[in-house]
């Protein structure tokens, strides 16, 4: 299992994904504000991993209150808990797993009696359990999805929906891993994923660690790859799936889905049920994060366009459900019409 995030000795340790693949460095977080900054700055990224970080950040925030005598006064602990949750959830708006994890922690807060040590321990245990649970969920997504891959297939993927984006197995790359574990020969083509290069830096790195054959392309090569029949399936992850199946994922996913449709290649989403947001009716209602223009004008401090250049830098786009062949979840494979398939899901957690 990859050491993406870990609760250790009352601290939260994260692999600094900004530095990969050149440097493997871990950051130790002692406060929830440090965790919030790391989510915002993409030390950790990927929807499920962000959810785990949120849960651990909230648990850490409550643990920080240990020596604060004010929490004994009526209402103070609740007010401080709300501040912690606000700090954590104000980081990245699109990945719904962040809010899903915060809601889970809020439920524990509400259900716990006013016994601070018990509450703190319950929140820490819940955050650690969420990490373990995510790993198992990814394995089940992988098991379900791999059934649609044949030995000899090449999978085109985008961004990083792998071990690094989750507790350590991956959603889209979990499907590849599960197929390989079944003895199927699978190759991957990874789009580099401008501007942050999660594909080049992270997907390629983690597949190389597992010795799964991977070929890197720049994003603008995907059309040619699909036209030439070099990939038999496109599999990507998701940051938020609306109630009708419209899916937000890394910018560039929508273009890939159109290309896949045009070339008759199946386009699959692999995601846990926690990424399905039944409160959001369709893709138009999914908030799309816009990031710092410097991500487009610069790469790691190196100028690639004049800094004063006007830039549009949405981090995600929305693929309409009509372009999606199937959604792999831990419970089952969803097929169109997605509105009905999602409404019928048993495992969906409501607020």
Residues carrying an active site annotation: 239
* 171, 244, 247, 280: residue in contact with ligand MRU (rule CB under 6 A): 171
Per CB under 6 A, does 142 bind ligand MRU? no
Instruction: Give the contacts of 316 (CB within 8 A, at least 6 positions apart).
Output: 94, 239, 248, 249, 250, 251, 253, 286, 288, 289
β-strand pairing of 333-334 with 326-328: antiparallel
* φ, ψ at 165 (rounded to 5°): -95, 5
Token pair of 167 as six digits: 């507790």
| Contact pattern from residue 197 through residue 226 relative to ligand MRU, giving x for each residue in contact according to CB under 6 A and a dash for the rest | -x----------------------------
Q: How many CB atoms lie within 10 A of CB 287?
A: 13
* 165, 167, 233, 256: residue in contact with ligand MRU (rule CB under 6 A): 165
| Contact pattern from residue 30 through residue 69 relative to ligand MRU, giving x for each residue in contact according to CB under 6 A and a dash for the rest | ---------------xxxx---------------------
| Contact pattern from residue 248 through residue 287 relative to ligand MRU, giving x for each residue in contact according to CB under 6 A and a dash for the rest | -xx-------------------------------------
Nearest distance in Å: CB 322, ligand MRU: 20
Cα 340–Cα 343–Cα 348 angle in degrees, nearest 5: 145
Nearest distance in Å: CB 13, ligand MRU: 19
Q: In sequence order, which ranges of 11-115 are alpha helices (DSSP H)?
A: 32-40, 47-63, 76-89, 96-111
Per CB under 6 A, does 329 bind ligand MRU? no
CB 251 within 8 A of CB 314: yes
Residues in touch with ligand MRU (CB under 6 A): 45-48, 95, 159, 161, 165-166, 171, 198, 236-239, 249-250, 315
């Amino acid at each position: 299992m990859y050491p993406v995030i870990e609760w250790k000795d009352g601290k939260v340790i994260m692999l600094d994904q900004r530095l990969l693949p050149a440097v493997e460095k871990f950051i130790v977080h002692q406060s929830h504000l440090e965790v919030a900054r790391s989510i915002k700055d993409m030390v950790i990224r990927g929807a499920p991993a962000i959810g785990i970080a949120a849960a651990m950040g909230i648990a850490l925030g409550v643990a920080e209150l240990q020596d604060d005598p004010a929490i004994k006064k009526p209402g103070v602990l609740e007010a401080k808990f709300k501040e912690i949750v606000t700090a954590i959830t104000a980081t990245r708006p699109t990945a719904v797993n962040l809010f899903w994890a915060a809601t889970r922690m809020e439920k524990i807060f509400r259900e716990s009696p006013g016994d601070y040590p018990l509450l703190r321990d319950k929140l820490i245990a819940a955050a650690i359990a969420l990490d373990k649970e995510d790993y198992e969920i990814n394995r089940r997504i992988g098991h379900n999805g791999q059934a649609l891959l044949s030995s000899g297939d090449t999978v085109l993927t985008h961004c990083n929906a792998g071990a690094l984006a989750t507790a350590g197995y991956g959603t889209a790359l979990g499907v590849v891993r599960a197929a390989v574990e079944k003895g199927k020969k699978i190759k991957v083509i990874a789009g580099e994923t401008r501007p942050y290069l999660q594909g080049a830096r992270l997907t390629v790195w983690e597949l190389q660690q597992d010795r799964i054959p991977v070929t890197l392309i720049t994003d603008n090569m995907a059309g040619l790859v699909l036209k030439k029949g070099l990939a038999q399936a496109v599999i990507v992850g998701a940051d938020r799936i609306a109630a009708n199946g419209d899916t937000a994922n890394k910018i560039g996913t929508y273009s890939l889905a159109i290309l896949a449709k045009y070339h008759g290649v199946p386009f699959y989403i692999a995601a846990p049920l926690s990424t399905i947001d039944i409160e959001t009716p369709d893709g138009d209602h999914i908030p799309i994060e816009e990031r710092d223009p410097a991500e487009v004008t610069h790469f790691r401090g190196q100028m690639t366009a004049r800094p004063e250049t006007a830039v549009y830098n949405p981090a995600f786009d929305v693929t309409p459900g009509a372009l999606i062949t199937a959604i792999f979840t831990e419970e089952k494979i969803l097929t169109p019409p997605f509105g009905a398939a999602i409404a019928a899901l048993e495992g969906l957690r409501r607020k």
